Structure 1
């Protein structure tokens, strides 16, 4: 079998693979020339220019010495560095050293409060036509979606007598729309009318197992109440911390609903007047009990 001399690797068949051609340049860089086949089946020439940079990291001598210690126990004969199977890495803590750290913390807290206030203000603006974060009068889909949402082209809601017909809320325009909230506006579940058009009464919700917990610290959230304070009293029906609408910060009290009234009474007897995160808790029934 005779073999010929391959003059060019680019012209060689698929059974040959050309080694890369490395050229050392005078400026310290390297030029690497390779040939490969692209997606169309054509051989292409790829030229890469590489510059090697050595980065030296300086550490304290004691740190360098500590890195050379031999591992022991389950880590014996393991390579350098932490092993995630036996070592738990904590989160990185950034240490800022300076004389004006109090001013820096105050400025950072002010920036966070401003961001929260901006987020709340953006969330409070909601279009009644498309649900976007802009005013209804400036909605770009007002002319096309406005009729379905009960919005007139001028950006206003229809008259109460026309609301049921235009927005499709009531069956007729004789007064079904007048008895229900305006079209495109969110109605809470406890204020919605039933199939017969009857509005629920204020006594419909059962708050007989709900306690009001006041004098809470500002950083206490719903998870802390569930997992720390009331975990021993079984699963809770509802935990709500009352917050400021503008800033989103806690107002210092919450409502907690239990499975039964007996469990709620037990929590009231055990936790009322107890200390929790530097404050004395005050527990009471959210709805005053009728004397028996």
Structure 2
């Protein structure tokens, strides 16, 4: 459980973008509505060079969110102490307004799997993930946010719904949540569920950050729609609509546009951020 350690300062309730080095100069000169940027922690755990210099320069103009992709919070093995130490060092010098990770696992023994893999929602998994969150928050001395996953299958052994599982983690650890609206839409489509019902049951009081992103459309072996969380396309209209519904319930929140693959030029990404700004402008 998070003790009296300070929480992050909090991101502005405004659009943000996932930072890509090719956008450095354009982002500084013509940010448009963008007030904060997200970096992937594992890309900035080195000791110096241009990447860290760019982040230091950008942090003078934008709030910073650090988003981890390699902790394997849901893994059965103990968290890697060296990875945690590098993460602590990054957070200490970058002083981000937010740190987040995924409800997923990505390691097996000494192997790192280049994917964020799903978990069965059982009591055993709940205890393990809660212990790992407690450990992370103790090491970094800050609250972390946990992101809901994109799902392509459901586990028969699950005894918790995903939203109840997340609510219990918040209760046990004091962590916050990162609500990825695209992940909700992808999972609901793939599993034949209602995205609206998912949002209704989500512990929205714990949301510190919201993500939207693009996905690819395909079909499974039975001809049913299959969505892939690719982060390589513009945000779909249905996801923007779901974001509008979320913001009506939460009020203004930091909203990040994720675009990690087939990264476009800055004007294209800036227009996506403008769409996020429009959604926030319609929110009380």
TM-score with structure 2 setting the length: 0.21
| Larger RCO (CA within 8 A; separation ≥ 6) | 2
TM-score with structure 1 setting the length: 0.20
Instruction: State the structure with more CA Rg.
Output: 1
